[in-house]
Amino acid sequence: MLEIIALIYLSRKMGELAERKGQKKGLWKLYTVLAWFGAEILGIVLSIILFKTDEMLALLPLGYGFAVGSFFLLKSVLVKKPDAVQATFEFERQH
């Protein structure tokens, strides 16, 4: 339940950032959700291989760590994009 709340919050923040950058916010929200679940599954599979256990409580911390890491990785990609050009009035450009 907390994971879903965190994912909703983080995808909203990613959408706001995408809108500021002039990108499609729905697409970046989708990227956030896909990256989150993909990285979480990757982290769980990796912890199954490393720890050789199938107890879910032991597998989740690495999965959640990968998921949070994927959010910050995706956010850093979006932050590096240039900001959207704001339309200004003609008289503001005259000096």
Instruction: Report if residue 57 sits inside a domain.
Output: yes
Assign 86 to helix, strand or coil. Answer: coil
Contacts of 78 (CB under 8 A, 6+ apart): 14, 17, 18, 21, 23, 28
Instruction: Report if residue 89 sits inside a domain.
Output: no
Q: Is the pLDDT of residue 92 over 70?
A: no
Tell me the average pLDDT across 77-90: 81
Instruction: Report if residue 60 sits inside a domain.
Output: yes
Report the chain's C-alpha Rg in angstroms. 18
Instruction: Report if residue 39 sits inside a domain.
Output: yes
Q: Answer yes or no: are the C-beta atoms of 43 and 60 closer than 8 Å.
A: no
Instruction: Report if residue 54 sits inside a domain.
Output: yes
Instruction: Report if residue 49 sits inside a domain.
Output: yes
Model pLDDT for residues 2-54, shown as the tens digit of each residue: 889 999 999 999 999 999 999 999 999 999 999 999 999 999 999 999 988 88
Q: Is 11 exposed, middle or buried (0-12, 13-18, 19+ CB in 10 A)?
A: buried
How many distinct structural domains can be found in the chain? Answer: 1
Instruction: Report if residue 55 sits inside a domain.
Output: yes
Q: What is the extent of the structural domain holding 52?
A: 17-23+31-80
Instruction: Report if residue 94 sits inside a domain.
Output: no
Enter the tokens of residue 6. 């965190």
